[in-house]
Amino acid sequence: MPTIQPEPHKIQAWAQINRKYLGQGVRVKRFRRPKRSQIRNRVLLAILMAKDMKLSQFAEELSISSRSVSAWVYEGRIPSRINMDKACRILGYPAHILFNEALIQESPILCQPSSSRFMKRAQSSSPKRNKILLGLCMVYDLSVTDVSQWISIHPGTFRKWLHYGHLPTPVLQDKAAEFFRIPTNILFADCDS
- The predicted model scores a pTM of 0.72
> What residue type is assigned to position 148 of the chain?
S
Task: Report which residue type is found at 174.
Answer: D
> At residue 12, what are phi and psi to the nearest 5 degrees?
-65, -40
Q: How confident is the model over 120-172, as pLDDT tens digits?
A: 655 555 566 788 888 888 888 888 888 888 889 998 888 888 888 888 889 99
- pLDDT at position 32: 58
pLDDT category of residue 93 using cuts at 50, 70 and 90: very high
Residue 140 neighbours by CB under 8 Å, 6+ apart: 36, 110, 112, 116, 118
CA dist., res. 47 & res. 97, Å (int): 10
Instruction: Estimate to the nearest angstrom the gap between the alpha carbon of 13 and the chain centroid.
Output: 43
Q: Which of 169, 165, 162 is nearest to 143 (CA)?
A: 162
Q: Max CA-CA distance within the chain?
A: 84
| pLDDT band at residue 91 using 50, 70 and 90 as cut-offs | very high
pLDDT 10s digits, 5-48: 555 567 667 666 666 666 555 555 555 555 544 788 889 998 99
The answer to whether residues 46 and 132 touch, using CB atoms and an 8 Å cutoff, is yes
Is residue 116 predicted with pLDDT exceeding 80? Answer: no
What is the pLDDT averaged over residues 47-58?
A: 89
